[in-house]
Structure 1
Amino acid sequence: MDWLLIALVVPAAALYGALAGALVPGALYRLSVEPEEAWRTAAPCGHRLGGWAGRARCGVCGGRYGPGAVWPAGVTAVVCAGTAAAVGARPELAVWLLAIPVAVVLAGVDWAVHRLPDVLTVPLAVGVAASLGVAAVLPGAGGSWTGALLGGPALGGAYLLLYLAHPAGMGFGDVKLAAGLGCVLGWYGWGVLILGGLAGLLLGSLYGIGLMLTRRAGRGATMPLGPFLIAGAWAGLLAGGWSVRP
């Protein structure tokens, strides 16, 4: 299995990630708007945008807008390859590979405008939960659908309490994102759920401390937490994937 994993699964996941990541810029441009603003429907040149996914280039005049495709494709490829190496050729790998480009878009949007759109966070949670239900009945599944269904409300509820205790330090979008990430982490058990949830908070805290130490932000400044929650969840996912490998 090891040679097959290295020779087929990981390169295939990396190629898929690069192709999927190349479609991210269009969605990033559409969704990277300030809170309460409508999603973008036109390019800076004034021509109407065609679809939600694709490169950030006008289909009429060819003008470029938004981010390039290099970093989204590279990041998505690396994350997909790493996930495949940890999880192996298990049914849940397909669920993770479908969710990763969505997570990259969410991280990019939150980093740009400190916003986690409901149009992605809610379908991510529902889609992961439903897809894992299918993966659970297939041979070789490495987790528990019950754990995933419990993990979503558990992590989302924990972040809801943090939000209610300190609304200035966390947005409600982070709570909804946590519900989807909880489904992912809960698939591999409570230990992985706790690890991934705490890792996200730790990474976000370290980044905030770094900003204050370098005087790039004050104590009351806002920062995007979503990218760090996603990175922490990925760390937990890798740990969970390796834990069920033979």
Structure 2
Amino acid sequence: MWLLLTPPAVVLAAVDFAVMRLPDVLTLPMGAASLALLGVAAALPEHGGSWTTAGLGALVLSGGYFVLFLINPNGMAFGDVKLAVALGAVLGWYGWGILLLGTFAGFVFAAVYGGWLVAVRKAGRRTAIAFGPFLLGGTFAGLLLGAYAA
């Protein structure tokens, strides 16, 4: 499943860095595909996760990002909210701890990058950066740890 979701994730990261936009043509099918593929994986014997937690993870993560979007639309774009459906599902598959770890890692990656941009004077404190690549990077870090733990 992860191999099927990796190509659109790489394209989303590149597009978001280039134009600061996450296109619906990739984020929406990625969310649906992640939930469907995890449903198939849950039907297999000796699967390493929980489809219920994956579905709840998708709802919780996208809901949390939606609240951030409502609070500050300039800080969290709606494309990030839609991407969070897929990311919450794949992280939630391994449990709540991995969901929190992957989410936190994405914020840390973005903070380190933003801090570096400020340090080298390529950006100011209010400069917008593309957040999608860091969400994807944090998810990847969480998935590696989750798969290793399972």
Q: SS at 1:99's partner residue? A: helix
Which structure 2 residues correspond to residues 1-246 of structure 1 after superposition, within 5 A? 95-244=1-150
Q: Cα distance, 1:140 vs. partner?
A: 2.3
- After superposing on structure 2, the runs of 4+ consecutive aligned residues of structure 1 that deviate more than 3 Å are none
SS at match of 1:126: helix
Q: Which amino acid aligns with 2:130?
A: P
Q: Aligned partners of 2:18 and 2:46: how far apart in 1?
A: 39
Deviation at 1:203, TM superposition (A): 0.7
Q: Deviations over 1:21-56 (max 9, x none)?
A: xxxxxxxxxxxxxxxxxxxxxxxxxxxxxxxxxxxx
Matched pairs, number? 150
Q: How much identity, in percent, do the aligned residues show? A: 56
Which amino acid in 1 is paired with 2:55?
L
Larger relative contact order, structure 1 or 2 (CA cutoff 8 Å, min sep 6): 2
The alpha carbon displacement at 1:212 in A equals 1.1
How far does residue 214 in structure 1 lie from its aligned partner after superposition?
Answer: 1.1
How far apart, in 1, do the equivalents of 2:7 and 2:63 lie?
Answer: 25
**Structure 1 position 209, deviation (Å):** 1.4
Task: Give the TM-score normalised by the residue count of structure 1.
Answer: 0.60
Root mean square deviation, CA, Å: 0.8
Unaligned runs of 5+ in 1: 1-94
- 1:188 deviates by 0.3
